[in-house]
Amino acid sequence: MDSNRTLAAPRRICGDFDCSGEDIERDWVKRTGCWSSMTRVLLTREQVRAYGLPATEGKRDDPRWSAFARRYGFDIEHPVQWEVEALEPDELQRLVLAAVDPYIDRDVLARQVAREEEQRRALAGFLGGWRADSSGGPA
């Protein structure tokens, strides 16, 4: 694998919209030391509003809550969060695929899909050769 290409590739992140989820980008950049930024694909404040996602009770003991609450104008006394799983599965898939689509090498993908299909055929042929007797061994 060409590590220079990997490190230069855009980093996308999906996560909950809460104080912990939002901090993942900062933490990742700090811990890895090899990327200068991350781009949140979801869940964002705008998506929470656009999809009308329901809030759930947030983590009262998270030390990042008060800064998060001030940044977004939430009541500091009532922690809230929004889970990425609140999105409809089809919409979640659509958003993720749209975010990564520009970075997919179609030739590499086509070769991998063909390779996996060959492996499926080989496995099916192998399994077809097994007897249904008690020994469980090949025919």
Beta bridge partners of 81: 56
Pairwise CA distance, residues 70 & 121, whole Å: 57
Pairwise CA distance, residues 49 & 57, whole Å: 17
Lowest mean pLDDT among 5-9, 53-57, 114-118: 5-9
Mean pLDDT of the chain: 86
Between the CA atoms of 57, 62, 68 and 72, what dihedral angle is there, to the nearest 10 degrees? 10
Domain range list for the chain: 3-104
- 100-136 pLDDT, tens digit per residue, is 898 889 999 999 999 999 999 999 888 887 754 445 5
Beta bridge partners of 57: 80
Q: What angle do CA 92, 109, 101 make, to 5 degrees?
A: 35
Three-state DSSP class for residue 81 = strand
